[in-house]
């Protein structure tokens, strides 16, 4: 059985609506990016990073291929292709008793994919004056 939060996350990804992110993220959420050195703390930053990631990786090839769901956390494996490079990644999501995401970590492979994402995310994040270092 899929947890409600996981179903809500899939709805966010399918629609790309930022306001839905606001509904499912805790105020104190910590976001771990594969291209940013330090964890990003707080809902506002997490929304900016996740929205930027949607813009970069969500295309007609994006799909989740596996889910492992527990009582308060999930691992969602995804695949997408950008500029001829296949990107394989995992979203690690942890939520609290209120059903709000408190920790979100993205892991990506192979190295070519990380380098490509770093380049593409840097372009988008600069628009938010966030940087990627």
SS3 25: strand
Residue 127 has pLDDT above 80, yes or no: no
Instruction: Please tell me the distance from the alpha carbon of residue 110 to that of residue 100, in angstroms, as a whole number.
Output: 30
Residue 131 has pLDDT above 60, yes or no: no
Instruction: Please tell me the distance from the alpha carbon of residue 126 to that of residue 132, in angstroms, as a whole number.
Output: 8
SS3 67: strand
Q: What string of DSSP letters covers 79-104?
A: EEEETTEEEEEEEEEEE-TTS-EEEE
The CATH topology of domain 4-127 is Nuclear Transport Factor 2; Chain: A, (3.10.450)
Q: Give residue-wise pLDDT tens across range 62-121.
A: 999 999 999 999 999 999 999 999 999 999 999 999 999 999 999 999 999 999 999 998
Q: Which tokens belong to 75? A: 């691992």
Distance of CA 95 to the CA centre of its chain: 14
Q: Give residue-wise pLDDT tens across range 6-46.
A: 999 999 999 888 889 999 999 999 999 998 889 999 999 99
Confidence at 132, pLDDT banded by 50, 70, 90: low
Interhelix angle 111-127/43-57, nearest 10 degrees: 120
Instruction: Please tell me the distance from the alpha carbon of residue 80 to that of residue 62, in angstroms, as a whole number.
Output: 4
Closest CA to 129 of 10, 70, 44: 44
Distance of CA 111 to the CA centre of its chain: 18
């Amino acid at each position: 059985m899929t947890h409600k939060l996981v179903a809500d996350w899939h709805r966010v990804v399918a629609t790309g609506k930022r306001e839905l992110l606001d509904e499912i993220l805790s105020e104190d959420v910590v976001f771990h990016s594969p291209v940013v050195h330090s964890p990003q703390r707080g809902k506002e930053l997490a929304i900016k990073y996740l929205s930027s990631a949607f813009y970069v990786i969500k295309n007609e090839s994006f799909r989740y291929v596996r889910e492992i769901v527990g009582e308060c956390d999930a691992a969602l494996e995804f695949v997408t292709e950008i500029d001829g490079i296949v990107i394989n990644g995992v979203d690690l999501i942890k939520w609290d008793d209120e059903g709000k995401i408190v920790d979100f970590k993205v892991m990506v492979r192979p190295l070519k994919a990380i380098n490509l994402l770093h380049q593409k995310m840097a372009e988008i994040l600069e628009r938010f004056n966030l940087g990627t270092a």
